[in-house]
């Protein structure tokens, strides 16, 4: 289990009870967490938890030029994807009326979602427009295929997990908490996108 946790963290995974239940339980044990932290310290990394403590992820523990370049690249990717990802969740909120959708462990039913979208032309247009914002998705597809492609992308990016393939039910992972923290941090400062001598103070800015 120790080796599995290390590889998942180094691959950039957000470990929570939804996405990685076994390794999440392993890290919730203080002795196991300390052992993992001791190992990661030797390679300039450490584990932090999301703001609401629902997930673990890896950050740099020291900042050289190489680490700063990785941080800036990560933030650039996040900023490029902020609008489509948040727009998707806003669409889900509008369709379902579920205000707590941006919370870890919330379930989203794709069949229910597309059923309501199909009944409202403004929602259909919004979904079509949303598809154009995801650069890797072709918006020139039918509504259901477009929605499925968006779900697949968000699963690959770690924001969702396909909890029930037969019923097309997805669960929100702890990475959404990190995204909300990043949004707040970007609103306050963009220091991690600049080249300078000062180290970024936010743990959010040091994601590997």
Residue pLDDT, tens place only, 87-137: 888 899 888 887 777 788 889 999 999 999 999 999 988 888 888 877 666
Rounded Cα–Cα distance for residues 16 and 57 (Å): 9
Q: Where are the beta strands (DSSP E) in 6-103?
A: 15-16, 45-49, 55-60
- Region class of 97: left (phi > 0), else alpha (psi between -120 and 50), else beta: left
Average pLDDT, the chain: 81
The H or E element that residue 172 is part of is strand 169-172
Given a contact cutoff of 8 angstroms between Cβ atoms, the answer to whether 198 and 205 are in contact is no
**By three-state DSSP, how is residue 48 classified?**
strand
pLDDT in tens, 140-183: 668 888 899 999 999 998 999 999 999 999 999 999 888 887 77
Q: What number is the average pLDDT over the span 40-64?
A: 86
pLDDT of residue 198: 39
Residue 184 pLDDT grade (very low, low, confident, very high; cuts 50, 70, 90): confident
Which of residues 80 and 191 earns the better pLDDT score? 80
Rounded Cα–Cα distance for residues 91 and 73 (Å): 28
Q: What number is the average pLDDT over the span 76-85?
A: 72
- Within 8 A by CB and 6+ apart from 102, the residues are 89, 93, 172, 176, 180
Residue 44: name the closest of 32, 57, 59, 24 by CA. Answer: 59
CA 58, chain centre distance (Å): 13
Quote the percentage of the chain above a pLDDT of 90.
Answer: 42
Tokens of 23: 């390794």
Instruction: Tell me how many degrees the CA angle 118-154-3 measures, rounded to the nearest 5.
Output: 150
């Amino acid at each position: 289990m120790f080796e599995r946790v290390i590889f998942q963290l180094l691959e950039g995974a957000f470990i929570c009870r939804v996405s990685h239940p076994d390794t999440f339980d392993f890290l919730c044990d203080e002795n196991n967490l300390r052992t993992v932290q001791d190992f990661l310290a030797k390679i300039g990394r450490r584990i932090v938890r999301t703001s609401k403590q629902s997930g673990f992820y890896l950050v740099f523990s020291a900042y050289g030029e190489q680490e700063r370049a990785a941080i800036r690249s990560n933030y650039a990717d996040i900023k490029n994807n902020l609008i489509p990802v948040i727009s998707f969740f806003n669409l889900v909120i509008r369709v379902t009326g579920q205000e707590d959708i941006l919370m870890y462990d919330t379930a989203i039913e794709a069949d229910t979602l597309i059923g309501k979208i199909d009944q409202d032309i403004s929602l259909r247009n919004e979904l079509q427009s949303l598809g154009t914002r995801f650069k890797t998705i072709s918006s020139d597809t039918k509504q259901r295929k477009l929605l499925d492609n968006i779900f697949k992308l968000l699963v690959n990016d770690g924001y969702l997990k396909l909890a029930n393939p037969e019923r097309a039910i997805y669960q929100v992972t702890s990475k959404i908490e990190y995204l909300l923290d990043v949004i707040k941090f970007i609103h306050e400062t963009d220091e991690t996108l600049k080249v300078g001598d000062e180290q970024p103070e936010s743990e959010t800015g040091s994601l590997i």
